[in-house]
Amino acid sequence: MRPMHWAVIAALASAVWASFAYLSLDLGHLLTTEAQALMWNYVVSFFPPDLSGEYLVQIGQGTLETIAISAVGTALAAVFGMLLALPASGRYGTVARAVARLVLNFLRSIPELVWAALMVIAAGLGPFAGTLALAWHTTGVIGRLFAETLENAPAEPVQALQLSGCRPSLAFLYGTMPNVLPQFVAYSLYRWEINIRMAAILGVVGAGGLGQMLYFSLSLFHQQQAMTVILAMLVLVVLVDTASAWLRRAMTGG
Amino acid sequence: MSLRLDGVGLVYSNGYRAVNGVSISIGAGERVAIIGPSGAGKSTLLRLIATAQRPATGAIEVLGAAPWILGRGALRKLRSRIGMVHQAPPIPPRQRVVTAVLAGRVGQWPMWKGLASLAYPVDVAGAQSVLARMEITDKLFERCDRLSGGQLQRVGVARVLYQQPDLMLADEPVSAVDPALSDRVISELNREAVARRITLVASLHAVDLALHWFPRIIGLRAGEVEFDLPPVRVTDAMLRELYASEATVPTQGDQPLAVEAAGIRRKPMCS
Amino acid sequence: MSAAAAVWGPRDPSALPRAALTVLIIALLWPGFRLAEFDLAVLFDPRNRDTVGKFIGTFFPLATSADFLQLLLKSTLETLAIATAGMVIAMLVGCPLALFVTRSLSISRIGPGRGYILGRVLRLPARFALMLFRSIPEIVWALLFVRAVGLGPAAGLLAIGVAYGGMLGKVYSEILESGDVRPTTALLETGSGRFVAFFYGMWPAALPELVSYTVYRWECAVRASVIMGFVGAGGLGQQMELSMRMLNGGEVSTILLIFLLLVVLADTLSALLRKLTA
């Protein structure tokens, strides 16, 4: 090992030591029999999950709401992302490009959950806040990628169309869109997949969907219902994973 | 007068003198072939005529207008009357043939028609009839990336036929088409020009094609006009002089896609 | 029919599928808008607009009082400490599980002994635990731990430990299995124990990849520990949640700025670490 490695290891070790020291946690406390008994009681209180028909109907609604939040949020983001990608790809000059990129970076840098907390203030508790939150963040992510795709698209088709008297807007639709549309669709669907997962948890700050149900049931000490929500989240994630893997195989295979 | 160039020159930013003091005038309904070795400035000359490039020196007049003093709308209108067949067809790979052909007239359509055609092709019959002239009707709804290079180039020609321009330009329109079809494509371009009494200017790699189909030949070398004559007066010596930088005078036989088995390969003219 | 074909040309074969797809998308999105309670009017409701307008109005100037900045420094350090210490816990959770579920480290695998079936049966719950740990999002873990150990950094630490432990365990074992198994198998066949086989057979080749993934995860942990603060798990996020609840825009924008800087810092640091250890 080079001395550099030892220096890095020493730095990491002291960072870890400093972290634990700074938090000054009494983790030993968690290992006492008393604490463990409490913990065990807490864990046990989650079982059995509440599988009553009435609650399952609510879970079903929450799941649908989660999917709706993600779908609408992603659809809005695809539209806004496209609109912002046009200036961000430099079509309207360098100033517009810089401004659009700044906006996209800003939207993207703020995590969905922070957006959700802000949107709960602006639009009130409920799924609408979650939808807007996902839309903002995803607009930043999608817009940046769309802009790059547009910049990399070949220029010849558009130039040729403009040379035959085409308006710039129509030249874009006929010359650039066919090149970039498949990528737009594929990436938007991929983001939707990510957003379903995200929509399931955004509710913990009050932005609707399964997350909000989880937050409520935990706040009301209904652990068994909370367990049902967690199970529903797991099932949703597994289903989305399976569906997307299947779709991917179907698309690349066919 | 359909076209007039007066001492037109263009120097690229790297100092390369692509076109140097070219003066030609071409009347309405004339059919002109531009020949010359590669690098002679054929493509640049066509791009200047197509108003794709602004000349550095000299004056240019296309269809009775000086394009570079026109406003944006007027320039667009002028351009919609110029049709250009590009050497590499500038068509997005995933576009369908029907859309690629109809795109030829989008410059003349009002906005709504251009948008509507994206939802459902507004003139399938029109697209079909020009594709029939290029013998690729069966590819009407095919995606362009599923076509061969030659088929794609014919789609590019079909687009310009569909555009019905007043000035038709073609930059090596048959470079990827095999000889039998080259003949067909060039004859269609000429037939269109004759039938609609419009001007046709084509640059061609194969000298035999040019001499066979065009009543006026312009020889271009190093950005300057070497000769400007009817084909009967173009001599072998002139051609050898024009192509001095290349080993032979190129004909259709030199083309990479030549199909010998079809038995339609032409005899090289000057060997 | 033929007359129509002559005038209109053949029918576009993909028109119908396209139209059907469009209708389907609209039919699916339409109830989505209703389920998501999509209502732009809410944003422009005068009372609401007032509150939001005031809130946004206070975003500038940034809050720069010495007290607040000191508080922020404390929260920022806490966030970094949660991420770092959380990663240690995650490694404590993930490493043993990874070693346990890695098939190429199985002693019973090489000889058809009695341990074979038992080994497979025992590996199942370990795999299940790993899956469970990582499939439940870290913020849900945080929510659960806040209820168990109270508000504050301990909950965040445990949440990262469990959620990232699951991820590390899975990825570690994938890295180990994708490497060359021959040295390990040779060691196991000459009677070495699991740990000897691991340290001499796999460790040297797999180390750079293991380190690089861990560092990358640490970067994610910094982000996650901020976010988890929103449910009360300490650090910068908890501070931001408080400021938002007070509708104190200046504080919120300051914290956002610090958060963005922190993310850039974590990015740079992790890139540097990966370069140093590569």
Q: For B80-135, write each residue's pLDDT tens digit.
A: 999 999 988 899 999 999 999 999 999 999 999 999 999 999 999 999 999 999 88
Cβ–Cβ < 8 Å for C66, C139: no
A212 touches chain B (CB under 8 A): no
**Rounded CA gap, C81 and B138, in Å?**
68
Query: What residues are paired with A82 via a beta bridge?
Result: none
More confident residue, A237 or A251: A237
Q: How far is CA A236 from CA A60, A207, A210, C34, in A?
A: 11, 18, 10, 21
Q: Please identify which residue in the block is written with the tokens 């209180």.
A: A45
Residue B10 host element (H or E)? strand B3-11
Q: Judge: C10–B127 Cβ closer than 8 Å, yes or no.
A: no
Q: Exposure string (b/e) for C16-36, b if CB count within 10 Å is 16 or more?
A: eeeeeeeeeeeeeeeebbebb
Q: Chain A residues with CB inside 8 Å of B115's CB?
A: 170, 173
Distance from CA of C169 to the nearest CA of A (A): 19
Paired with A131 in beta bridges are none
Percent of chain B with pLDDT over 70: 93
Interface test mutation site (partner A, options B85, B86, B106, B113, max chain A beta carbons within 10 A): B106
> Are the C-beta atoms of C98 and C138 separated by less than 8 Å?
no
- Interface contact C149-A30, CB threshold 8 A: yes
Which run of H or E residues covers position B61?
strand B57-62
Mean pLDDT score of chain C, rounded to an integer? 85
C5: confidence class by pLDDT, cuts 50, 70, 90 = low
- Whether the CB of C12 is below 8 Å from some CB of chain B: the reply is yes
Q: Which residues of B196-224 are buried (b: 16+ CB within 10 A; e: fewer)?
A: eebbbbbbbbbbbbbbbbbebbbbbbebb
Question: Torsion-angle region of residue B20: left (phi > 0), alpha (psi -120 to 50) or beta?
Answer: beta
Sheet of B57-62: strand order equals B17-26, B3-11, B57-62
CB contact under 8 A, C48 and A42: no
pLDDT digits (tens, 9 = 90+) for A75-112: 999 999 999 999 999 889 999 999 999 999 999 999 99
Looking at the DSSP bridge assignments, the partners of residue B96 are B143
pLDDT value for C274: 80
Task: State which residue of chain B sits closest to C6, comparing Cα positions.
Answer: B125
In three-state secondary structure terms, B255 is coil
How far is C-alpha A132 from the chain's CA centre?
Answer: 12
C2 has a pLDDT exceeding 70:
no
pLDDT in tens, B17-68: 789 989 999 999 999 999 999 888 999 999 999 999 999 999 999 999 999 9
Mean predicted confidence (pLDDT) in A138-166: 94
Residue B44 three-state SS: helix
Chain A window 101-160: which residues touch B at a Cβ cutoff of 8 Å? 154, 156-157, 159-160
Q: Which residues of C are less than 8 Å from A110 in CB distance?
A: 256
Give dist(CA C150, CA B201) in Å, integer: 83
For the ranges A177-186, A210-219, B143-152, C170-179, which has the lowest average pLDDT? Answer: C170-179
ipTM: 0.88
Weakest-pLDDT range from A35-44, A217-226, C98-107, C163-172: C98-107
Which among C37, C78, C143 has the least Cβ separation from residue A128?
A: C37
What is the reported pLDDT for B259? 35
- Mean pLDDT for the stretch of residues B223-236: 92
Q: What is the pLDDT of residue C111?
A: 57
| Of residues B123, B125, B141, nearest to C14 (C-beta) | B141
Find the angle CA(B21)-CA(B24)-CA(B26) to the nearest 5 degrees: 155
CB within 8 Å of B270: residues ≥ 6 apart = B207, B236, B239, B240, B248, B249, B251
C14 Cβ under 8 Å from any chain B Cβ: yes
Residues of C within 8 A of A36 (CB-CB) are: none
The whole-angstrom separation of Cα B271 and Cα A79 is 63
Contact B21, B7 (CB under 8 A): yes
SS3 B190: helix
Q: Identify the pLDDT of residue C44.
A: 80
* Partners of residue B124 in chain C, C-beta under 8 Å: 8-12
Signed CA dihedral, B234, B238, B242, B246: sign only? positive
Residues C260, A131: C-beta atoms closer than 8 Å = no
Q: What domains are there in chain A, each with its CATH number? A: 53-253 (1.10.3720.10)
- Looking at residue A2, what is its pLDDT? 66
End-to-end CA distance of chain C: 71
- Per-residue pLDDT tens digits for C13-47: 888 999 999 999 999 999 999 998 888 888 787 87
Kindly tell me the sign of the dihedral angle through the C-alpha atoms of C11, C12, C13, C17.
negative
User: Which residue in the block uniquely carries the two structure tokens 């994708």?
Assistant: C178
How does pLDDT run across C55-81, given as a tens digit for each residue?
888 888 888 888 999 999 999 999 999
- The alpha helices in B27-103, defined as continuous H runs, are 42-49, 72-80, 97-102
Residue among A48, C197, A154, C158 nearest B90 (CA):
A154
CB of B67 less than 8 A from some CB of A: no
For position B265, what pLDDT does the model report? 35
Q: Which DSSP category does A29 fall into?
A: G
Q: pLDDT tens digits, residue range C245-271? A: 888 889 999 999 999 999 899 989 888
Q: How close C22 gets to chain B, by Cα (Å)?
A: 11
- Is residue B165 very low, low, confident or very high in pLDDT (cuts 50, 70, 90)? very high
Q: What is the pLDDT of residue A68?
A: 95
Collapsing DSSP to helix, strand or coil, B22 comes out as: strand
CB atoms within 10 A of CB C225: 31
In eight-state DSSP terms, residue A32 is S
Residue A39: CA count within 13 A, CB half-sphere: 12
Residue in chain A nearest C78 by alpha carbon? A23
Per-residue pLDDT of A19-30, as tens digits, reads: 988 888 777 777
pLDDT of residue C107: 64
A187 in contact with B at a CB cutoff of 8 Å? no
Strand partners, B217: B33, B229
Query: What residues of A are in contact with residue B165 (Cβ under 8 Å)?
Result: 164
Q: Which two tokens stand for residue A32?
A: 């006492």
C36 closest CB neighbour out of A22, A131, A201? A131
Say yes or no to pLDDT of B271 above 70: no
Residue of C nearest to A214 (CA): C140
> Inter-chain contact B128–C6, Cβ cutoff 8 Å?
no
Asked if residue C217 lies in contact with residue C90, where contact means CB atoms within 8 angstroms, the answer is yes
User: Could you give the count of Cα atoms lying within 13 Å of B100 in the half-sphere of its Cβ?
Assistant: 30
DSSP 8-state secondary structure symbol assigned to residue A204: G
3-state SS of chain C is CHHHHHHHCCCCCCHHHHHHHHHHHHHHHHHHHHHCCCCHHHHHCHHHHHHHHHHHHCCCCCCCCHHHHHHHHHHHHHHHHHHHHHHHHHHHHHHHHHHHHCHHHCHHHHCCCCHHHHHHHHHHHHHHHHHHHHHCCHHHHHHHHHHHHCCCHHHHHHHHHHHHHHHHHHHHHHHHHHCCCHHHHHHHHCCCCHHHHHHHHHHHHHHHHHHHHHHHHHHHHHHHHHHHHHHCCCHHHHHHHHHHHCCCHHHHHHHHHHHHHHHHHHHHHHHHHHHHHC
> What band does A254 get if pLDDT is binned at 50, 70 and 90?
very low
pLDDT computed for residue A63 by the predictor:
95
The CA distance from C192 to A228, in Å, is 46
B155 has a pLDDT exceeding 90: yes
Q: Please say whether the dihedral angle defined by the alpha carbons of residues C128, C131, C135 and C141, taken in this order, is positive or negative.
A: positive
Structure tokens at A212: 């909000």
In chain C, which residues have their Cβ closer than 8 Å to the Cβ of A215?
Answer: 143, 231
Residue with tokens 């999105």: C29
Report the alpha-carbon distance of residue C34 to residue C38 in Å, rounded: 6
Q: Which of B62, B70, B79 to mutate to test the interface with A (most CBs of A within 10 A)?
A: B79
Chains touching A (at least 3 CB pairs under 8 A) are B, C
Q: Show residues of chain C in contact with A69, CB under 8 Å.
A: 35-36
Q: Compare CB distances from B76 to A165, A169, A178 and report the shortest one's residue.
A: A165
Confidence band for B180, pLDDT divided at 50, 70 and 90: confident
* Interface contact A117-C81, CB threshold 8 A: no
Residue with tokens 């070949």: A154
